[in-house]
Amino acid sequence: MKPARFAYDAPPTLAAALALLAEHRDDAKVVAGGQSLAPMLNMRLVQPARLIDINGLPELASVTRDGDRLVVGALMRHADLARDPIVAAQCPMLACAAGTIGHYAIRQRGTLGGSLAHADPAAQLPLVALALDAEIEVASAAGRRRIPARDFFVSILATALAPDELIVAVRFPVRGPREGWSFRLFSRRAGDFALAAVAASLALSADGALAALRLAAGGLGPVPLRVDQLSGLATGVPMSRERAAAAARAVGAAAEIEENERVPADYRRELLAALAQDALDEALERAR
């Protein structure tokens, strides 16, 4: 349980960090909170020649507003997302989901950028990013680009990040008027990774009709999935609890769920339908 040898750098600026990444690429690993990477290093599941520690870059730990976007720095810790009043008011799903990750001590270190880059199929923050159509802002020595969450998660622990790229921030849409949200997960013990999780965001028009819907589920396969299309819900139609219940059943029936010896797909299918029902009910309640 001791890591293989590595060299260690703690660059003082973002430019220095990007230069190191450009030089070492696949030979180096970025370390943020270390809550996923350090276990893998200690178990020698990964053996990078070099660690590039980004904890000394405070410019990655801010939350700012850019028009209708909340720009959340990659180094924001789960615990800070959970208690930040601006995040709670403007992107409440993110605050709520961050507060459910692992345990209290884990949340003090783990970061938003680390969670997205690690891309565990059952992780909370990748699901929230996908559900809200967030954009992941990444930088390399060559420049910056924004990757839509839909294109970011490629497979288990695999993302669209190039080896010389760093996540600097994530751009979440700010909660709008008459917009309700919900984040629901199920795990057997507090702090375990979720067996299934659902994130829902819906907006109503003034007359109570559905104006917009975003629905996503995690823990079902290699990457989180958008399931709005499976729900049968159409915009312009009045929303009701009955419609929400039918939509949850439809999602449960149609979602693609990977077979898994530990947690049978049929069991997760029922979990998904129940979580979707609770999430849609709660989002509807909050939108009214």
| Contact residues for 43 (Cβ-Cβ < 8 A; gap 6+) | 1
Q: Nearest approach, Cβ of 40 to ligand FAD (angstroms)?
A: 8
The 8 Å CB, 24+ separation contacts for 235-244 are 235/209, 235/210, 235/211, 236/209, 236/210, 237/209, 237/210, 238/207, 238/208, 238/209, 238/210, 239/202, 239/204, 239/208, 239/209, 239/210, 239/284, 239/287, 241/281, 241/284, 244/277, 244/280, 244/281, 244/284
CB 216 within 8 A of CB 227: yes
For ligand FAD, give the closer residue by CB, 110 or 180.
110
Q: Both tokens of residue 287?
A: 């939108």
For ligand FAD, give the closer residue by CB, 92 or 113.
113
For ligand FAD, give the closer residue by CB, 103 or 241.
103
Per CB under 6 A, contacts with ligand FAD among 7-66 are: 29-37, 39, 54
Write the DSSP string, 50-76.
Answer: EEEE-TT-GGGS-EEEETTEEEEETT-
For ligand FAD, give the closer residue by CB, 117 or 220.
117
Q: Nearest approach, Cβ of 71 to other proteins (angstroms)?
A: 24
- Angstrom distance (rounded) from CA 49 to CA 71: 32
Q: Which stretch binds ligand FAD (CB under 6 A): 100-108, 207-215, 220-228, 279-287?
A: 100-108
Site mask for ligand FAD (CB under 6 A), range 110-129, x = bound:
xx-xxx-xx-x--xx-----
For other proteins, give the closer residue by CB, 55 or 205.
55
**Residue 206 interacts with, from other proteins, ligand FAD, none (CB under 5-8 Å by kind):** none
- Angstrom distance (rounded) from CA 217 to CA 226: 6
Tell me if 96 contacts other proteins by CB under 8 A: no
For other proteins, give the closer residue by CB, 55 or 140.
55
Residue choice 134, 167, 204, 279 for contact with ligand FAD (CB under 6 A): 167
Residue choice 70, 80, 95, 102 for contact with ligand FAD (CB under 6 A): 102
For ligand FAD, give the closer residue by CB, 21 or 276.
21
**Residue 166 interacts with, from other proteins, ligand FAD, none (CB under 5-8 Å by kind):** ligand FAD
> Pairing relation of β-strands 166-173 and 69-73?
antiparallel
Tell me if 231 contacts other proteins by CB under 8 A: no
> Pairing relation of β-strands 50-53 and 7-9?
parallel
| Contact residues for 229 (Cβ-Cβ < 8 A; gap 6+) | none
**Amino acid letter, 49:** A
Tell me if 51 contacts other proteins by CB under 8 A: yes
Half-sphere exposure of residue 226: CA atoms within 13 angstroms, side-chain side: 15
Q: What are phi and psi of 28, to 5 degrees?
A: -115, 155
- The residues binding ligand FAD (CB under 6 A) are 29-37, 39, 54, 74, 101-102, 106, 109-111, 113-115, 117-118, 120, 123-124, 161, 166-167, 191, 193
- The residues binding other proteins (CB under 8 A) are 1-8, 10, 31, 34-35, 38-39, 41-43, 49-51, 53, 55, 79, 102-106, 108-109, 189-191
